[in-house]
Amino acid sequence: MHHFVYRENELYAEDVPIKKIAEAVGTPFYLYSHATLKRHFHTFNDAFQGIYPLVCYSAKANTSLAILKLFSDLGGGLDIVSGGELYRGLKAGFSSDKIVYSGIGKRVDEIDYALSSKILMFNIESLEELELIDKRAGILKMKAPIALRVNPDVDPKTHPYISTGLKKNKFGLDIQSAIEGYKAANRLQNVRIIGIDCHIGSQITEAKPFEDALQSLINLKNEIEKFGIKIKYLDMGGGLGIVYEDESPLHPSEYAKTIAALLKDTSFQLILEPGRVIVGNAGILVTRVLYRKSGLKKKFVITDAGMNDLIRPSLYDAFHAVQPVVKTEETQIVADVVGPICETGDFLAMDRKISDVKKDDLLAVMSAGAYGFAMASNYCSRPKLAEVMVKDNQFHVIRARQQYSDLMEGESIPSFIQG
């Protein structure tokens, strides 16, 4: 459930008409509902009563500072995959001992930054990374808290680009390699084994993949404890899906029951890394119709938002509902909703039945709070769009729209090509 609803044929965000925001801010822009963000966090967190997991929001879904600050204030932790996300998280007020560092390609400077910040745990993806973290911790005269990321070869039944737990995926270690990895880590001087980590994919809508992955981790925990290795944290990652079109994802309470049933005889401290399930339906992309165009075989609705603003449809063929901000026509057409980028793959929707919108009408691209602005780019030298948050009957620009001058920040022309 979210707080984007029609009132007398006009779409509101909480108690603010979206048309009013567009008039003040211009288009395109991302729009988030404070009430939805807060409720989704509490719904997920409260589903695990009796288990009391550390809920580490997955920053990569949406790293906007205001959103990070909201989750920090609600007592959450943070799952990061870069030094930049660590920097943002600390600036937003997250306690460093609630930050977990995932990601397959950590650089030396990022490792040192995380060690110096005294994060809770590194989720290690390879034996070479394990060796490097041990070395850097030694240089800094520290003990690095670690978990190994295990690839349990579980099919999450999701898009192949966001599947991460199969043998063919680049992430983590297979079970046998993980056992050897834990033995190796136990011999190192500058690491402290505290956890096991797993993340099998994103936009998962069934319980079975989570059950299979968790059982695999419990079996691994029992195996490595034979070597005197004690595990405190079990990091189950994220991946819980949301409704984009006609999916029937697990409710967080069902997800919690699935996990609780398997953990009842264990002493793990559970870590969870939700991202999309908290922010996905809490945000939309608002765009304006620039032109209408009819080809020999198709109709096109051309908008001022393109693939540089929301790349998921182009990258994953992902579905996002497209709705008029003001309903004025009962007539519907079938059209491609496309952006201004000079790419055939620049579209928000293909062959979609939508309202018969006209030039200058506003459209809302729904369920765009996750992997929307976070994946936006300056392709075709387009300034990044604004971000706005609504609370009750007020709205606030949480990220200003870039100006043309911002596009050249940090650039310079060398003297040997200056006239």
Helix axes 208-224, 175-187, angle to 10 degrees: 40
Last residue of a domain, one of 226, 256, 276: 276
Query: Range of 402's domain?
Result: 4-31+280-408
- Residue 228 identity (one-letter amino acid): G
- Residues 237 and 346 reside in one and the same domain: no
Residue 305 belongs to some domain of the structure:
yes
- Paired with 365 in beta bridges are 285, 322
User: Quick check: helix, strand or coil at residue 300?
Assistant: strand
**C-alpha to C-alpha distance for 320 and 385, rounded to whole angstroms:** 18
CA-wise closest residue to 319 among 261, 390, 246: 246
- Residues 298 and 271 reside in one and the same domain: no
Look at residue 203 in the predicted model and tell me its pLDDT.
Answer: 79
Supply the residues annotated as catalytic.
342
Residue 419 belongs to some domain of the structure:
no
User: Quick check: helix, strand or coil at residue 375?
Assistant: helix
Which token pair is 393?
């009957």
- Residues 203 and 308 reside in one and the same domain: no
Residue 416 belongs to some domain of the structure:
no
- Residues 288 and 311 reside in one and the same domain: yes
- Paired with 190 in beta bridges are none
Last residue of a domain, one of 247, 276, 305: 276
Distance of CA 411 to the CA centre of its chain: 30
Look at residue 419 in the predicted model and tell me its pLDDT.
Answer: 66
- Residues 352 and 363 reside in one and the same domain: yes
- Residues 94 and 202 reside in one and the same domain: yes
- Residues 253 and 329 reside in one and the same domain: no
Residue 404 belongs to some domain of the structure:
yes
User: Quick check: helix, strand or coil at residue 94?
Assistant: coil
Look at residue 171 in the predicted model and tell me its pLDDT.
Answer: 64
Domain count, the chain: 2
Check whether the bond before 340 is cis (ω within 30° of 0).
no
CA-wise closest residue to 313 among 356, 375, 380: 375
- Residues 223 and 348 reside in one and the same domain: no
DSSP string, 56-86: EEEGGG---HHHHHHHHHTT-EEEESSHHHH
- Residues 123 and 59 reside in one and the same domain: yes
Instruction: Tell me how far CA of residue 356 lies from CA of 319, 366, 368, in angstroms.
Output: 19, 18, 22
Residue 106 belongs to some domain of the structure:
yes
Residue 258 belongs to some domain of the structure:
yes
Residue 413 belongs to some domain of the structure:
no
CB 64 within 8 A of CB 399: yes
- Residues 164 and 134 reside in one and the same domain: yes
Q: Which CATH number goes with the domain that contains 23? A: 2.40.37.10
CB 150 within 8 A of CB 216: yes
Residue 417 belongs to some domain of the structure:
no
**C-alpha to C-alpha distance for 234 and 239, rounded to whole angstroms:** 15
Query: Phi, psi at residue 380, to the nearest 5°?
Result: 65, 25
Integer-rounded Cα radius of gyration of the chain = 23
Q: Which CATH number goes with the domain that contains 92? A: 3.20.20.10
- Residues 184 and 231 reside in one and the same domain: yes
- 134, with CB counted inside 10 A (0-12, 13-18, 19+), is buried
Look at residue 268 in the predicted model and tell me its pLDDT.
Answer: 84
Which token pair is 307?
């693939």
**C-alpha to C-alpha distance for 349 and 327, rounded to whole angstroms:** 19
List of long-range contacts for 69-74, beta carbons under 8 Å, 24+ apart: 69/93, 70/34, 70/37, 70/38, 70/41, 71/37, 71/41, 71/278, 74/38, 74/41, 74/42, 74/45
Last residue of a domain, one of 251, 276, 301: 276
Which token pair is 242?
């949301």
- Paired with 347 in beta bridges are 338
pLDDT along the chain (419 residues), means of 10: 90 98 98 98 91 94 98 98 98 98 96 98 95 98 96 60 45 86 96 92 78 85 90 89 84 87 84 95 98 94 98 95 92 96 96 95 98 98 98 98 97 89
- Residues 362 and 270 reside in one and the same domain: no
Distance of CA 205 to the CA centre of its chain: 16
CB 349 within 8 A of CB 336: yes
User: Quick check: helix, strand or coil at residue 282?
Assistant: helix
Look at residue 222 in the predicted model and tell me its pLDDT.
Answer: 87
